[in-house]
Amino acid sequence: MSKECIFCKIIEGEASARKLYEDETTLSILDIGQLISDAGRFISGRSLVIPKRHVTWFYDLEDEEAGQLFIATNRVARKIKKAFNPDFITVFIRGQRISHAHVILQPSSGEDDPTDKVFKGLMSYFKLAPEELLDDMARKIQGVK
């Protein structure tokens, strides 16, 4: 646990949160940063799934911990689907602004969805990589033991 980390404080009961799911290795809470569309429509249920062990990056988790994190992520996503029936739930994995790995579950619905607007905006800055660059990238990743 990290004394400065808000997620560690929530896990230890030193800070409040709206808990959605908890098991021995993970905790899920409702994100206080809920999104609304330009039309003021609420995109319900944005949630975070957090490993209880403090790690900054999800790839620093042991394989078993990572498996438990994604089992919990799946369980919470199903709860969100049943509660709000979004078209889909986007999954982000972070550990940047808050230096504690976490999965963000962002329910999304319709073409005016804020998440789609973000991705469309990002994609406007990029073009598709040529085949030879994709081959080179694949070889580099495949070569790592």
For the chain, give every domain's residue range: 6-113
Q: What one-character DSSP code corresponds to residue 20?
A: E
Q: What is the pLDDT of residue 121?
A: 74
**Does pLDDT of 119 surpass 80?**
no
Beta carbons of 17 and 30 less than 8 angstroms apart? yes
The amino acid that residue 5 corresponds to is C
CATH for the stretch 6-113: 3.30.428.10
pLDDT range class, residue 9, cuts 50, 70, 90: very high
pLDDT tens, position by position, 45-82? 889 999 999 999 999 999 999 999 999 999 999 999 99
